[in-house]
Amino acid sequence: MTEHNTVAEEFLSGRVLLIDKPLGWTSFDVVKKIKALLRHRLKLKKIKVGHAGTLDPLATGLLIICTGKKTREIENYQNKEKEYTGTFFLGASTPSSDLETEPDEFFPTDHITETLVNEAARNFTGELDQVPPLFSAKKIDGERAYFHARRGDATVLKSNKIFIHDFEIKQLDLPEVKFRVVCSKGTYIRALARDFGKEVSSGSYLKELRRTKIGEFSVEDAWSIEQLENYFKKLEN
């Protein structure tokens, strides 16, 4: 059996791929890309491909992709704790709590100190009630919340129980705060940015986000899209 056929059989049987999602790509864009590679490079016309946990287009980092029979295990990966690094921008807020929308409110930051920021971080550890951002895929009467948000509907989502295991302030350089967070499934870092701003009596939105770990899996072991393309090209030679 050729290496090409062996790899094709492996993907059909089920493989778990760690992908470093590029900025601007949706999680589904990555799934579509891998499906296209499997169809065109390995001639697999019918194969299941799915991701284990959405990562926003404005975020980069670890995305777990399952193929073939491994798609049955997606929920196992979704339930694992996540680690993120990123940057909050203090002194302003946006409707989406990130850079999908423009800042529309501005707040003072002169009172913000390193002590205040570290105390705020400690207040966001353990079990918390978090209200998801309206710009999210949560459903309201069968419709995605972001459709309500884009129409300007005055809607508030119900809070969810989340757990933040670790919230570390890496650097304070006002108006920016660099952080690392280890959290449970269902935690919205955009909502954390929003609530963090209120905790320090200001405003905040998520400027940058990178998912670095999912359970025992690390982005350091992930493929870039370019590396994956080159891998499949070599199989054809």
Looking only at the bridges linking them, the beta strands covering 160-173 and 49-51 are unpaired
**CA pair distance 138, 145, nearest whole angstrom:** 5
- The backbone region for 85, taken as left when phi is positive above 0, alpha when psi lies in -120 to 50, beta otherwise, is beta
Tally Cβ neighbours within 10 Å of residue 50.
17
**CA pair distance 43, 5, nearest whole angstrom:** 10
Given the residues 56, 141, 153, 173, the one annotated as active site: 56
- Measured over all CA atoms, what is the biggest interatomic distance in the chain, rounded to whole angstroms? 68
**CA pair distance 231, 95, nearest whole angstrom:** 41
Q: Are 204 and 176 in contact (CB under 8 A)?
A: no
Backbone phi, psi, residue 228, to 5° = -65, -40
**CA pair distance 149, 45, nearest whole angstrom:** 38
Q: Quick check: is 98 catalytic?
A: no
Short-list 126, 119, 120, CA closest to 182: 126
Where in the sequence numbering do the catalytic residues fall? 56
